[in-house]
Amino acid sequence: MAPPAAMEETAPTINLLSNINDGNNAASQISRVTIVGSGNWGSVAAKLIASNTLKLASFHDQVRMWVFEETLPTGQKLTEVINQTNENVKYLPGIKLGKNVVADPDLDNAVRDANMVVFVTPHQFMEGICKRLVGKLKEDVVAISLIKGMEVKMDGPHMISTLISEQLRVNCCVLMGANIANEIAVEKFSEATVGYRENREVAEKWVRLFSTPYFVVTPVQDVEGVELCGTLKNVVALAAGFVDGLEMGNNTKAAIMRIGLREMRAFSKLLFSSVKDSTFFESCGVADLITTCLGGRNRRVAEAFAKNGGKRSFDELEAEMLQGQKLQGVSTAREVYEVLRHRGWLELFPLFATVHEISAGRLPPSAIVEYSEHKPNCSLVEGSAPYF
């Protein structure tokens, strides 16, 4: 708005035109949101976001959600049922997403008008999704990843946010936290952390989009730290599940969680010297580790794996127990192991290494406590730069 002196000198007709232009500018700044992914957590994210786009003038009401099309036992298409019932009957039954959520099986169409894109799919699918989206996004788009995991390539590990940023040439933040999706779906209080690199304004916009009275989001300038916390805690959750399946007790489980947190911090700082210690005290850090080791799907399936003496594969248990949802811990443990082996770090991270060996069937579940005789030399973390 012009200063008072200028307003006095301007004719009323100019003021009217100015107001019209201001309205047009405001309209052009309204953000359209698309969610890429529609599983359990993706559907909860849609519910959170849809409740806010209806209230906040800076966001367009409609939220598009890309759905990998599936045919339900009834013969109906999943997208049709979501749009008819306002409910993801397969991955989040009994929860209304919001009437402004539109399910779309066409990825290109779902993102066409979006300038804020939320990625929330199993991490093993992201490279293919990014390849499909190259050249399909608007120039002003920003992204956020809710994905736990990493890609390991010949030149080393790549975080999913980096994959998105580099392949799609967009600013990509991350959101991680102590977030059991089904609890957030019924509006039980929870916290989360948005990790960003430089643009605090973009981070604050994501905070506004996700925040509700029962879902409190805090921005932290540490993308890699936030993302690695969300990724690595699933490996520790497998260890906690092995302990539960073998009925080793709470003391053992607490020890595994503490050692796991130590290895999470050490691994993160060896990979990225910019990672902040304070990040591990945010929701994405110790809080997410605790909740995942107590109630997450990785812990639950690992418990079943240990109870069966490792004789039933994780693939078999996943198909039986998760109704189409994907485990992240097993694939992440394998990827972490590849990094450790390639860089000669296996002896520094006995818990991470042992979790993979158990998951791959090379060690029995009881081996989860046998590694403890070999303490990692975490002092190396203080000089992490030479180990890149």
- The pair of structure tokens assigned to 114 is 């979006």
pLDDT on residue 104: 98
**How far apart are the C-alpha atoms of 71 and 62, rounded to whole Å?**
25
The amino acid sitting at 185 is: A
**How far apart are the C-alpha atoms of 100 and 60, rounded to whole Å?**
10
**How far apart are the C-alpha atoms of 181 and 94, rounded to whole Å?**
13
Q: Is the pLDDT of residue 351 over 60?
A: yes
pLDDT on residue 385: 35
pLDDT on residue 154: 65
- The conformation of residue 29, written as its DSSP 8-state character, comes to T
Q: Is the pLDDT of residue 50 over 60?
A: yes
Which residue numbers are catalytic?
Answer: 233
Opening angle at CA 77, ends 331 and 53, nearest 5: 75
Q: Can you tell me the mean pLDDT for 292-321?
A: 92
Q: Is the pLDDT of residue 207 over 80?
A: yes
pLDDT on residue 65: 98
Q: Is the pLDDT of residue 3 over 50?
A: no
- The conformation of residue 212, written as its DSSP 8-state character, comes to B
Q: Which of 284-293, 343-352, 369-378 is the least confident region?
A: 369-378
Mean predicted lDDT score pLDDT of the chain: 88
Top-confidence residue, 1 or 343? 343
- The conformation of residue 100, written as its DSSP 8-state character, comes to T
* DSSP string of 17-81, one letter each residue: HHHHHHHHHHHHT-EEEEEE--SHHHHHHHHHHHHHHTT-TTEEEEEEEE----B-TTS-BHHHH
Bridge partners for 65 per DSSP: 35, 103
Residue-wise pLDDT tens digits, 248-259:
999 999 999 999
Tell the residue number behind the tokens 């020890």, with chain if given.
255
Q: Which of 46-50, 99-103, 224-228, 323-327 is the least confident region?
A: 323-327
Q: Are 142 and 170 in contact (CB under 8 A)?
A: yes
**How far apart are the C-alpha atoms of 276 and 57, rounded to whole Å?**
35
> What is the band of 328 on the pLDDT scale with cuts at 50, 70, 90?
confident
Number of H helices, E strands in the chain: 16, 10
- The residue among 57, 72, 63, 59 whose CA lies nearest residue 45 is 63
- The residue among 343, 325, 329 whose CA lies nearest residue 388 is 343
Q: Can you tell me the mean pLDDT for 2-23?
A: 35
Bridge partners for 317 per DSSP: none
Q: Is the pLDDT of residue 387 over 70?
A: no
Top-confidence residue, 178 or 18? 178
pLDDT on residue 11: 33
Q: Which of 123-127, 167-171, 220-224, 235-239 is the least confident region?
A: 123-127
pLDDT on residue 41: 96
Q: Are 90 and 323 in contact (CB under 8 A)?
A: yes
- The residue among 356, 341, 318 whose CA lies nearest residue 235 is 356
Q: Can you tell me the mean pLDDT for 306-333?
A: 88
- The residue among 243, 204, 203 whose CA lies nearest residue 223 is 203
- The pair of structure tokens assigned to 361 is 């069937």
Opening angle at CA 22, ends 17 and 26, nearest 5: 150
> What is the band of 13 on the pLDDT scale with cuts at 50, 70, 90?
very low
pLDDT on residue 371: 63
- Altogether, the residues listed in the chain come to a count of 388
Q: Is the pLDDT of residue 8 over 70?
A: no
pLDDT on residue 6: 36
**How far apart are the C-alpha atoms of 57 and 110, rounded to whole Å?**
21
Q: Are 290 and 381 in contact (CB under 8 A)?
A: no
Percent of the chain with pLDDT over 90: 78
Residue 217, φ and ψ in degrees, nearest 5: -115, 135
Q: Which of 56-60, 88-92, 157-161 is the least confident region?
A: 157-161
**How far apart are the C-alpha atoms of 206 and 224, rounded to whole Å?**
17
3-state secondary structure at position 325: coil
Residue 42, φ and ψ in degrees, nearest 5: -60, -40
- The pair of structure tokens assigned to 328 is 């992240």
**How far apart are the C-alpha atoms of 263 and 260, rounded to whole Å?**
5
Q: Is the pLDDT of residue 21 over 70?
A: no
Q: Is the pLDDT of residue 28 over 80?
A: no
Whole-Å CA distances, 170 to 139, 142, 235, 240, 309: 8, 6, 29, 37, 45
Q: Can you tell me the mean pLDDT for 307-333?
A: 87
**How far apart are the C-alpha atoms of 135 and 169, rounded to whole Å?**
10
The amino acid sitting at 248 is: M
